[in-house]
Structures are given as C-alpha cells and as structure tokens.
Chains A and B, each alone.
Chain A
C-alpha cells in the first residue's frame, strides 16, 4: 500500500 508520508516520486 502507499506510504503517504513519503511521496518519493517527482
């Protein structure tokens, strides 16, 4: 599932 705290994409 998505880790919203770290959006690691540009």
Chain B
C-alpha cells in the first residue's frame, strides 16, 4: 500500500458515498446515468469474484464488500426505489457496445487465459469506459447538479491517483501491470474535459453548464 493508492481508494469511496447521499437525500436520481451505475456494478462483480478465495488484507476485503454492497444499493435506488425520477430518455448511450468491446478485448489481450483472469481483465477494460454514459448524459442535458460534479471529480481523481500509485510501485517495487496502467490512463483521460470545466467553473461556485 502507498499514499497514492490510499488517497485514490478514499476518493473512490467518497464518490460512491456522495452519490448515495445525493440520491437518498434528494430522493431522486435525476441527472444520474443508471447505465453507468450498472456498468460499475458489473465491474465490481467481475473483479471481486476472488473476494473469498484470494485474501489480501482486511482493508482489501472490507473495501471490496463495501464497493459491492454500495453499487448494488445504488442500482436498487435508481431502478427500483426512485425509478420514477430516473431520466431514462436522457440516459441513451449504447452501453451494450462498451460491454461487447470489453469482452472481446479481454479475450484477446490478457495476462492469462483463465476464467478469473479474463473476468478481471474484462472488469478493467469496462471500468475504463463505464463513465461514458454518465458523461454523455451530461452533454445531452447540458448541465449537472453541483453534487453530481463533485461525484464525478472524486471518481475521476481516484484512477488518476492510481496512475501515481503505479508509477510508485514500478520504481519502488518493480511491480507493473500494463493492462491496468493503460486502461487507467484511458479512464482518466476521458475525464479531462470534465476536470477542466470542474476546476474553471464549479470551484468558483458556478454551476457545471456545458457550452451548448
């Protein structure tokens, strides 16, 4: 463990909690892409199958359990409890495409052709693009509530901090997982224009309205 990965995990945890608070307090999931949340749930489910077989640490296990539980809780809130507030007509990104491409890539490019390793690789590729429906939805509606932009900032920062973690691990531990690194770079890259808008607007108290 290193400080970059710890802050990254805390940022990821904060994003998930911010989203749950937003939906629970406002009793609404308006502006939230249910498709992205479905993809994140698939990411955690495929990646954490080793929850009971591969014990890394108490921290690792508790975080995995929390991420799994919170992602299922989030889709429950979106598609069941507050489904009347879900903007289905704005959440129109073809996310099936993201799943198919991630499956094909995971079958072609992986570290080992085994079930758990291919599912892990699939979860890495899928996570890199899972935010696209949410970013697409914001460009479609042209704006985002400030709490949603804080959620996105925390979520985008987490993988950016992981890149620093991978640089640290490469030089300090000689550890390198180029599949995770390349996917993490793509994932963080997708947030670039959002980060620019967040820093130039939301940080100054303005709303996140995209130039139409």
Contacts and interface: CB of A to CB of B under 8 A. Distances in A.
B141 to A, nearest CB: 31
Interface string A1-10: 1111111111
Nearest to A9: B5
B177 A2 contact: yes
B175 interface: yes
Contacts of B175: 2-3
A10 B120 CA distance: 11
A10 B64 contact: yes
A2 B176 contact: yes
A7 B50 contact: yes
Contacts of A7: 47, 50, 54, 120, 177
Interface of B: 5, 9, 12, 47, 50, 54, 56, 60, 63-64, 67, 111-112, 117, 120, 162, 165, 175-180
Q: What 5 pairs across the A-B complex have the smallest Cβ distances?
A: A2-B177, A4-B111, A8-B56, A4-B112, A10-B63
Interface of A: 1-10
